Each structure stands twice: as C-alpha cells, then as structure tokens.
Chains A and B, each alone.
Chain A
Amino acid sequence: MKNIISDLLLLSVVLIFCGVIIYVAIFLSSIKTGITILPLLLFLVITYRVNKMRRS
C-alpha cells in the first residue's frame, strides 16, 4: 500500500511537469514544444522496464 501511494505521488509530480509543457504547447499551438517531453517519457519507460525486470 505504501509503495503504491509513493509511486502515485511520484507519478503525479511527473504529470504536473508534463501538464505544464502540454499547456504551453496548446497555448502556443506548438507541436514541437509538446514533442520535447518525449525523451523524458522514454527515460520513464526504461525505468519501468528495468524495475519490472529486477522485480521479476
């Protein structure tokens, strides 16, 4: 339960960050600004995969 809460809290921080970038991208009608969050998402995917492999 504690792990789930801590993961959700950490995820909410990332979502807030991504939310700011998406807000700016929509406000400026700039797709390129929105695309800049892709490396961060890729890093998170690698984190998720490695963590899952380690647990298994």
Chain B
Amino acid sequence: MLEAFIIPVVIAFVAEIVHSTLTKGWKFTLEFFAGGFLFGFVRELIAASYLKQYGFPDMPIQFLNVPIFIPVGWVFTFYLAYEFTNKIIKPSTEANCRTFIIFAAFFSTCICIPIETAAMNMNWWWVVLSDTSGNIAVFHLMRGWLYTTMVFFYIYFVAKKNLSLKQLMLAFVLVIIFCMWELNIYIRSFLIMLVIFTVYKEIAVVLMAYAVAEYCGMMSILFFIPNWIFVTILFVFNFTFILVKLHSREAKHQFSTV
C-alpha cells in the first residue's frame, strides 16, 4: 500500500518541476529544488539521528537512514507553499517576506494534517506521539511542519537577497526556540519570544500561539481534551491571522491611494 504514497509523490514532483521550469526557468528550478531537497535531507538526518520520534521502516531507497522520498516530500510542500502564497502576497519587501514566510508555514500545516493522518492510518510511517484514536494526526506535528517551512524560507530569502543577512540571525533564534520545543522547554522559550516580540511582532505572535497550544496540549493529558480540538483551534488561529493581515493590508493600500 506504500505505492499509494510513493507513486503520486513522484508524479506530482515531476509536474512541479515541469511547472517551475515553464514559469520560472531552469536556474530557479535548480536552485529551489536542489536547495529544498538538501535542506529536507539535513532536517531528516538530524531528526533520524537525534530526535528519533518517528521512523520510516518500509520506505525504499534510504541514504544515511533517510528515505529519499521524504526530502522529496518536503520540496513538494515548499514549492506548493511558495506558489500559492505568492498568489496572495509578493515577497517584494522585507516586511512582505516575513508575512510571506508565515503564510507559507500556515500552508504547510494545511498539508501536514491530511498527509500525516493518512500516513499513520495506513502505517506508511510511525510517530512516537501518534494518537490515531480520533483518526486525526496529533496537533504537535503542525509545529514541526510550521518551523521547518519557516526556517527553509528564511534561509531561501536570505540566499536570494530578499532578506538582509542579519535576518539569518532570526532564523538561528527560531531554530533555538524550536529545539527548546522539541525538548519540552516551553516556559523559557517564552522569554526569547518576548524579545522577538519587541522587534518582529507577527512572528512572535504566531510562535506564542503555537507554544501556548503545545503547553496546553501537555496539560490536556490531565483534563482529557481530545486532539481534534487543538487541531481545530490552531487552524482557526491560522486563518484568522491570514484574514486579519490581508484586511489590514487592504485598508493600508486604500488609505495610501486616497
């Protein structure tokens, strides 16, 4: 049954490369797909070597314990996120780039829940945190997809010079926060987020919302709050954020034209 995952991934990946080549040329395609694959591979290598919270026992073609199809899956998500977010907001200025990164990360959470739910129910891969009792993947996975996409696009935009080099520092701080989350150090990570809030409010608000959800998720074991409630709350937050942001941008645009 693993073919039901691998074959569509390969077909969709080829379609993405054709699309990218037709619309943006070979240079962009090579940079984006090679960079995305390398980033996804390193991310999975770290996860497989140190975190060990999930595994892919039956996946074919593995290199250093990382199945090749998983980084391909990451590039698949990054490209779709890039294309669809680009239709909402253009990464033309630094402020737009930061909003773009948040929207793209939200898009990846939209991909995350269906594919993780399907994968866990079909035993394509296993996760320590998996709770398929409600047939929906655990909401903790949304943070992993969120921060992976955020860090990738930060590095990508710095490399493409859409963001200044000092923004790489923020990407580094984000990696530290996400490592703290993986180690369940939420309270101290809040202090770093408060520092970020003084400079980049939007990103800090998103991080805080996810950290609060994670923290409540840990506590939910005591109160038996079902997983689907957290998934729904996070999606409501994501879409509210997008709509508020788009509305404020529209209002600013109308104000400037008047």
Provide the residues of chain A in CB contact with B246, threshold 8 Å.
46, 50
Are the CB atoms of A33 and B11 closer together than 8 Å?
no
Chain B 93-136 near chain A by CB (<8 Å), digits 1 or 0: 00000000000001101110111011001100000000000111
Are the CB atoms of B15 and A13 closer together than 8 Å?
yes
Contact A36/B136 with A5-B22, A17-B111 known, Cβ cut-off 8 Å: yes
Provide the residues of chain A in CB contact with B113, threshold 8 Å.
36, 39
- Cβ-neighbour of A13 out of B80, B87, B117 (below 8 A): B80
Provide the residues of chain A in CB contact with B11, threshold 8 Å.
16
Provide the residues of chain B in CB contact with A5, threshold 8 Å.
22
Chain A 6-36 near chain B by CB (<8 Å), digits 1 or 0: 1001101110110111011101101011001
Q: Does residue B69 face the partner (Cβ distance < 8 Å to A)?
A: no
Main secondary structure, interface of B, reads helix
Provide the residues of chain B in CB contact with A32, threshold 8 Å.
117, 134-136, 228
- Cβ-neighbour of B110 out of A27, A28, A40 (below 8 A): A40
- How many Å from the CB of B33 to the closest CB on chain A? 14
Interface residues on A, range: 20 to 34
Number of interface residues of B (CB under 8 A): 40
Are the CB atoms of A6 and B22 closer together than 8 Å?
yes
Cα of A19 to Cα of B91 in the assembled complex, Å: 31
Are the CB atoms of A43 and B8 closer together than 8 Å?
no
Are the CB atoms of B5 and A20 closer together than 8 Å?
yes
Are the CB atoms of B118 and A24 closer together than 8 Å?
yes
Are the CB atoms of A13 and B114 closer together than 8 Å?
no
Q: Nearest chain-A residue to B239 (Cβ)? A: A42
Q: Does residue B221 face the partner (Cβ distance < 8 Å to A)?
A: no
Contact A20/B118 with A50-B87, A51-B88 known, Cβ cut-off 8 Å: yes
Cα of A36 to Cα of B115 in the assembled complex, Å: 9
Are the CB atoms of B15 and A16 closer together than 8 Å?
yes
Question: Would you give 20 A-B contacts (Cβ < 8 Å), ordered by A?
Answer: A9-B15, A10-B83, A10-B84, A12-B12, A16-B12, A17-B114, A20-B118, A23-B4, A24-B4, A28-B121, A28-B135, A32-B135, A32-B228, A33-B118, A36-B137, A40-B110, A46-B246, A47-B87, A50-B87, A50-B246
Interchain residue pairs A-B with the least CB separation, the first 8? A24-B118, A36-B114, A32-B135, A40-B110, A9-B19, A39-B110, A16-B12, A21-B114
